[in-house]
Amino acid sequence: MRVTRVRLFALRQELRHSFETSSHRKSGIEHLLVEVTDEDGRCGWGEIATPSDPYFGAETTATAWDIATRYLVPALLGAEGDEPAELEATWARVRGHEFARAGFSGAVWDLFSRRRGIALATALGGTRDEVVAGVSLGIEPSIDELLSQVELQRAAGYPRVKLKIAPGWDVEPVRAVRDAHPDLDLHVDANGAYPDDDDSAAVFAQLDTQGLTMIEQPFAPRELVAHAALQARIGTAVCLDESVVALGDLRTMIRLRAGRILNIKVSRMGGLTVAKAAHDLAVEAGIPVWCGGMHEFGVGRAANVAISALPGFLLPSDVSGSDKYYVDDIVAPAVTAVEGRVQVPHGPGIGHDVLVERIERGASRTYDSADVAVRDAAFTRG
Ligand code: MG
């Protein structure tokens, strides 16, 4: 396949229910969509699901746009390859910027599997027909509101609920949810908000008694040693998210025993090829994985469903239905969860039609390689 055209769209969607984590609160989300076209006019779609602010990681929507237009498009345009990895190799010199790279990786994988007429999940080596979905609840204004949100999601059939925690919003809300739902598959995510000190140790000792499936990313991303020390002290599994952006980080996690569960976010790791490699490495090390979300629209969400079909994804993934988050979606049919399960589509590529006109109409910013002198970009072939 040869990539003959690349288009980018910046699109904002309003959230049904505003979402707060340890670092920020938001009511709408802007992501970038990547469309690649091959020499036969076939298209593949990917999503750059970076938050707009640099609070989850270093990237923002603005940095992703810049890296995409100045480096990734010029690298990919005109490139030829039989496998997605060959096309991804064209931007191998770009360091960091995993979210931006992941959007392009998704588009290339979608195109590849559509050309073959197979489902993306099949192309990736998926073996499941359905994926168990969990939901993630933000920091709510009160414990009562949190309890009603948990009630709502359980009633919708989701078997696992994840709670965002932060210093000052941890033991008390977790206990309240646990008391109300003694048998719920419950886990907490701190997004690295805790310092490695005695106060935090006391919090985690109390959370350790709450029957949690995991405590996700308690400390800052590079604190692998602190995570290892905590994992040695508590019975609850520590799960790493922000700490693992490359396969080398995963090797460090395994060697240090810095956690017993891995959250594989396709966006955080730079795309589907590396996410699949991380899955294989984790399986070899006996580490169960699950797929975390970044409030993806339908394109990115469908790719998350596809990778969650791999055999090592043994825990519920953040692939709940789009309707939980957004009023409209950009794919048809929308990604839906029934009784907490999402069917893995059998159709080619991501298995959903991309609503191109809706994207074109709603985009606040567009880029088309057919309209610009791509050779003027900063990228040079090495
Ligand atoms: Mg997380």
Selecting among 26, 162, 265, 276, the annotated active-site residue is: 265
> What is the residue-averaged pLDDT of the chain?
94
Q: Is the pLDDT of residue 373 over 80?
A: no
Centre of ligand 1 from the C-alpha of residue 192, in Å: 9
What is the torsion angle, in degrees rounded to the nearest 10, for the CA atoms of residue 48, residue 51, residue 56 and residue 62?
Answer: 80
pLDDT in tens, 143-188: 999 999 999 999 988 999 999 999 999 999 999 999 999 999 999 9
- 276 catalytic per annotation: no
Centre of ligand 1 from the C-alpha of residue 241, in Å: 5
Q: Please, which residues have CB less than 5 A from ligand 1, an ion?
A: 189, 216, 241
The residue type at 200: S
Q: Which structural domains are found in the chain, ordered by start?
A: 3-117+356-379 (3.30.390.10), 122-354 (3.20.20.120)
Centre of ligand 1 from the C-alpha of residue 58, in Å: 15
Centre of ligand 1 from the C-alpha of residue 23, in Å: 12
Question: What letter does residue 190 receive in the DSSP assignment?
Answer: -
pLDDT in tens, 224-273: 999 999 999 999 999 999 999 999 999 999 999 999 999 999 999 999 99
Average pLDDT (16-44) is 87
Interatomic CA distance for residues 286 and 144, integer angstroms: 38
- DSSP H helices in 245-346: 247-256, 266-269, 272-284, 298-307
Selecting among 162, 164, 276, 324, the annotated active-site residue is: 164
- 164 catalytic per annotation: yes
The residue type at 61: T
Centre of ligand 1 from the C-alpha of residue 213, in Å: 14
Read off the pTM.
0.93
Centre of ligand 1 from the C-alpha of residue 365, in Å: 29
Centre of ligand 1 from the C-alpha of residue 118, in Å: 31
Find residue 25's DSSP bridge partners: 20
